Amino acid sequence: MLDPKELKVVLATLTKRRDWLLKSLDGAGLNAESREEITVAIRLLDSSMQKLSRLSSVFPSKATANKPAPLPPRKNTRRPAVEPENAYVLIAEDNRDSAELLRGILEDMGISHIDLVTDGRAALYALQNSSPPYDLVLCDWDMPEMNGLEVHRSVRALAKLRDTHFVMVTAISESNRIREAIQQGVSDYLVKPIDIEILEKKLKAALAGDEAST
């Protein structure tokens, strides 16, 4: 078990590593696969740092060293797996060709509950009023009315969307957007032009929920 000082050092080291990875997204010549690997590494670091932060909070201060610390309530925060035929998906994309490509791949995977909107305000309305809530959202960054990140920012606090896998879609050359999306907490991202193999891999991982990491 690490003591508080050791935990502080570990967290500082992980924070520096995360910052370095975020900066590396700006590097010229990175392909989609490399960006995906970096994004996965950042998410793993975020998860590790959150666990370590929670661990450090159970250490008593000197003033309360003789008092037992209350245990935090256990919460089930695991994102459940969803079978393709039961999945509800929202595509927010104003480009018709891109939208039809995404729809076709989803249908090939056995997903039939697919809604399509073509602007940000329509996406926000759909997310706020969906019943049942969407399991997966594929949201383009550049849309009329509201951009994809504004949509995510508006709905991320909704309890019913806690398990929704939100994927941002943007251009491969705009690494600053990818970094901003990661910092805001989107689940994943796709780059244009869309690589079908990478898209299918991400969709399968999204529907697998947290079971895939066990």
CA distance 172 to 184: 18
pLDDT band of 74, cuts 50, 70, 90: very low
Among 51, 67, 69, residue whose Cα is nearest residue 59:
69
Taking a C-beta distance cutoff of 8 angstroms, is the pair 153, 185 a contact?
no
Q: What is the mean pLDDT of the chain?
A: 77
Is 66 or 118 the better-scoring residue by pLDDT?
118
CA distance 146 to 123: 9
- Dihedral pair phi/psi, residue 202, rounded to 5°: -70, -40
CA distance 112 to 92: 16
CA distance 120 to 139: 9
By percentage, how much of the chain surpasses pLDDT 70? 71
pLDDT band of 11, cuts 50, 70, 90: low
Among 42, 35, 22, 23, residue whose Cα is nearest residue 171:
35
- What is the per-residue pLDDT for 183? 84
- What is the per-residue pLDDT for 122? 93
Is 42 or 147 the better-scoring residue by pLDDT?
147
Q: Is the pLDDT of residue 84 over 90?
A: no
Q: What is the mean pLDDT of residues 174-191?
A: 82
Is 130 or 13 the better-scoring residue by pLDDT?
130
pLDDT band of 161, cuts 50, 70, 90: confident
At 87 the three-state DSSP class reads coil
pLDDT band of 107, cuts 50, 70, 90: very high
CA distance 203 to 39: 16
Q: Is the pLDDT of residue 53 over 70?
A: no
Give the tens place of pLDDT for each residue, 32-47: 777 777 777 777 776 6
CA distance 103 to 37: 25
